[in-house]
Structure 1
Amino acid sequence: MSFNKAVIRSIALVAASAAPFAFANSPAQGLSPAAAADLLFQLESLQQEVQQLRGMVEEQEYELKKIKERQKDRYIDLDKRISLIMSTASSQAPQEPVNSSANSTQPSGEVGVAPVAVAPISQSAGVNGSNTELEGGSSEGPLSVVEITEPSDEAKSAYKASYALIREKKFEEAAQAFDDFVLVYPSNTLTGNAHYWLGELKLVLGKPSEALDEFNMVVMKFPNHSKVADATYKLGIVNDQLGNKDEAKAFLQKVVSQFAGTNSATLAAGYLNNME
Structure 2
Amino acid sequence: MTHFKKSLIALALLAWSAHSQAGLFDDNVARQQVIDLTNKVQTLQQQNQMRIDQLEAGNKQILNLVRQIELQKDELAKLNGQNEVLQFNLNEAIQRQKDLYIDLDNRLRAIEQGKAEIKAGQQANEQGSFDAAVALVQAKKFKEASAALNKFATEFPKSDKLPAAQYWLGTSYAMSKDYKSATTAFKNVVENAPTDPKAADALLGLASVAAAMNDKKTSRNYLITIIEQYPQSDAAVRAKKALMAPN
TM-score, normalised with respect to structure 2: 0.47
Higher relative contact order (CA 8 A, sep 6+): 1
Larger radius of gyration: 2
Larger proportion of helix = 2
TM-score, normalised with respect to structure 1: 0.42
